[in-house]
Amino acid sequence: MCGIVGYIGKKNSKEVILKGLSRLEYRGYDSAGIAVHSNGINQLKTSGKVADLDAKCIKEKLPKSSIGIGHTRWATHGIPNDTNAHPHQDITRNFTLVHNGIIENYLTLKKYLAQNGIECKSDTDTEVLVQLISYIYNKDKISFEESVRYALMKVVGAYGIVVLCGDEPDKIIAARHGSPLVFGIGDSEFIIASDTSPIIEFTRKIVYLDDAELVVFTRDDYYVKSILENHIILKTVNEIQFSLNQIEKNGYDHFMLKEINEQSNSIAESMRGRIIIDEGRIKLGGLQEAIQDILNAKRIIITACGTSWHASLIGSFVIEELVRIPVNVEYASEFRYRETIVGPDTVLFAISQSGETADTLAAIKKAKSLGALTIGVVNVVGSSIARETDHGVYIHAGPEIGVASTKAFTSQVTVLNLIAILLAQAKDRNIKEVANLVNDLKLLPEKVELILKQSKKIKSIADNYIDAENFLYLGRGYQFPVALEGALKLKEISYIHAEGYPAAEMKHGPIALIDENMPVVFIVNEKGYEKIISNIQEVRARGGKVIIVTSIDQEELHEYSSHVIHVPSIHQCILPILTTIPLQLLAYYLAKAKGCDVDQPRNLAKSVTVE
Ligand code: F6R
């Protein structure tokens, strides 16, 4: 959440920062701001999007400068207005700072500052930090770097910050604790950002900042230090793994549509080199050393949030079916605060697209502290979760920019299937069943293509429901998490209220909602077919409108519904991948028809780095 960019080099920093912010806008888009050095600090902020900030920079003639910082905000403390937008300046106007995260003890610090004659202007937690840096600098007469370091030692909470100081116009200082920061090393230039997307245009050489680290950039050098011990840390320089092309829209109206359409390729990438064709065996390098520990574990927990939690639920079903080990699926935000039974004989899988979700990261840290073995299933290479876990498997879906997760979900389910197969093979269980699943996995990409060819049909179905105020999604077994995911996709981008339920649960409450205005999406598969047909009849008897997504070719389904969307049949463990895609498209076309901002839905942000 919140996007940060800082630049020091030879270019006009405004251009670099605004371009970078627009690439980071999926992290937050309620207000934006920029500060550059040019005879003191010049700063502009506005509520609204990066495009509004760009217009303000032109109108108010932001001076040219080769050093600056910028921010795109997802509000936590204080409404999105010009005052609360970042950067925040201290009262002497000597320091300015952008921040991602939450300063949890900001009220205590604010009181302390007030007692010393410093009043904050904004409602944010962030302003307190810049005022504190300035207060320490003026009181203790110490350097810019030392003032930042001392101030950070007083902070409780999470931060990724970048700071400028008017007295030292050739320097940028950045620091991290709990919120991601990465910097790129260019040719006599450095660019620091919340993730790699603004960096790739300038360099592929990057360094990930770790928690409790601070970096100081001068015009031609940098060094990284420990905030607590103040000693120099030698960092590894990594390579960015994706291309610029992968983070462009490439002719699509929205990133979400592009990413939905990429799924046959992204799923193939998730499997590339991992199925040994001749033997039908699975190879996952990052898991090789953990297999026995997983099989010997007393408890397996999968933890995640949102869409990744839905993928986890499917993963747990597959592991239980194929490997016959019990698996619990936990919301990371609940797991971390519950008195869960975790110990050295527990294995915790953490599933995350961004690899930065604060609750998931905290759940991993808690499990680790109790002795559990942790395994990450992550998309973003080099992300915090990928680095925090003991072992890991990347899903290799490629960059996902659309705020609503699509291709990451189908790749997560694919990789969780690969993990289940690997474990079943290591245990010599369900050999025939597993072989069938492996064969069907190979067919996934071409079957996904067949679904994508139905986009026009799905769009015309969506057109019938523009005025719907509620939707219900119902499925059984493997299709229950799909119902949850279909409902989440719809509500987050179209703002239509939607609920997902196990189909049989309908009669325990939600059935009260059904009338002629309620569209109900049933995801129908073979297991429990007769039962779900009864549920469909119950909805019809109450006037509800039925939409069916199914792999079953039965004439009666057309009779019982207003619309049927067919997906090819495939092994039930991976059928959720196919049945989810029409629901992604349905949500997309409904949101688009309603004129919603599909890639930047209100109140949301990708990469939820606050708790
Ligand atoms: C929904 C969505 C969110 C994320 C959730 C976890 O479309 O994108 O529900 O799935 O915030 O994010 P990651 O997977 O990055 O940990």
pLDDT value at 610 more than 80: no
Confidence band (pLDDT; 50, 70, 90) for 555? very high
Q: Please give the average per-residue pLDDT across 247-270, as a whole number.
A: 95
Give the model's confidence band at 83: pLDDT under 50 very low, under 70 low, under 90 confident, else very high.
confident
Distance 486 CA to ligand 1 centre (A): 14
Which amino acid is located at 481 in the chain?
P
Residue 352 CB–ligand 1 contact under 6 Å: yes
Task: For residues 384 and 366, give the distance between their C-alpha atoms in angstroms, rounded to a whole number.
Answer: 15
Domains, in order of start, for the chain: 3-240 (3.60.20.10), 250-452 (3.40.50.10490), 455-593 (3.40.50.10490)
Looking at residue 278, its pLDDT comes to 80
Indicate the top mutation candidate among 357, 493, 604 to test ligand 1's pocket, ranked by most ligand atoms within 8 A of CB.
Answer: 357
Asked if residue 384 has its Cβ within 6 Å of ligand 1, the reply is no
Q: How far apart are the first and last CA of the chain?
A: 11
Q: What is the reported pLDDT for 77?
A: 78
**Type and span of the H or E element at 192:** strand 190-193
For the Cβ of 404 lying below 6 angstroms from any atom of ligand 1, the answer is yes
98's enclosing H/E stretch is strand 95-103
pLDDT tens, position by position, 480-524:
999 999 999 999 999 999 999 999 998 898 888 889 999 999 999
Contacts with 13 (C-beta within 8 Å, 6 or more apart), sequence order: 7, 36, 65, 66, 67, 68
pLDDT band at 10 (very low <50, low <70, confident <90, very high): very high
- Please, are residues 360 and 352 in contact by the beta-carbon 8 Å criterion? yes
Task: Determine how many CB atoms are found less than 10 A away from the CB of residue 571.
Answer: 19
Pocket test of ligand 1: the residue of 26, 194, 303, 307 to mutate, having most ligand atoms within 8 Å of its CB, is: 307
Q: Which residue has the higher pLDDT, 380 or 429?
A: 380
pLDDT for residue 601 is more than 90: no
Find the 410 Cα to ligand 1 centroid distance in Å.
13
Give the contacts of 192 (CB within 8 A, at least 6 positions apart): 4, 5, 6, 7, 162, 172, 174, 181, 182, 183, 184, 215, 217
CB 383 less than 6 A from any atom of ligand 1? no
How many angstroms separate the alpha carbon of residue 27 from the centre of ligand 1? Answer: 12
Read off the pLDDT band of 84 (50, 70, 90).
Answer: confident
Q: What is the pLDDT of residue 365?
A: 96
pLDDT at 160 over 80: yes
- % of the chain surpassing 90 pLDDT: 85
Tell me if 353 sits within 8 A of 405, measured CB to CB.
yes
442-485 pLDDT per residue, tens: 999 999 999 999 999 999 999 999 999 999 999 999 999 999 99
Percent of the chain with pLDDT over 70: 100
pLDDT at residue 606 greater than cutoff 80: no
Mutate to test the pocket of ligand 1, among 74, 608, 609, 610 (most ligand atoms within 8 A of CB): 608
Residue 58, classified by CB atoms within 10 Å of its CB into exposed (0-12), middle (13-18) or buried (19+), is exposed
- Vertex 121: Cα angle to 114 and 56 (nearest 5): 155
Q: How confident is the model at residue 605 (pLDDT cuts 50, 70, 90)?
A: confident
3-state secondary structure 526-559: CCCHHHHHHHHHHHHHCCCEEEEEECCCCHHHHH
Rounded Cα–Cα distance for residues 95 and 122 (Å): 16
Q: Position 91: which residue type? A: I
> Does residue 354 line the site of ligand 1, with CB under 6 A?
yes
- Residue 79: CB partners within 8 Å, gap ≥ 6? 123
CB 318 within 8 A of CB 481: no
Distance CA 124, CA 230 (A): 28
Distance 114 CA to ligand 1 centre (A): 39
User: Which pLDDT score, from 0 to 100, does residue 604 have?
Assistant: 79
Which residues does 50 contact at the CB level (< 8 Å), separation at least 6? 18, 21, 22, 25, 29, 32, 72
74-83, 330-339, 565-574, 592-601: least confident range: 74-83
* pLDDT (0 to 100) of residue 81: 83
307 lines ligand 1 (CB under 6 A): yes
Per DSSP, the three-state class of 63 is coil
Residues taking part in catalysis: 2, 606
As a whole number, the mean pLDDT across the chain is 94
- 274 has pLDDT over 90: yes
Give pTM, 2 decimals. Answer: 0.90
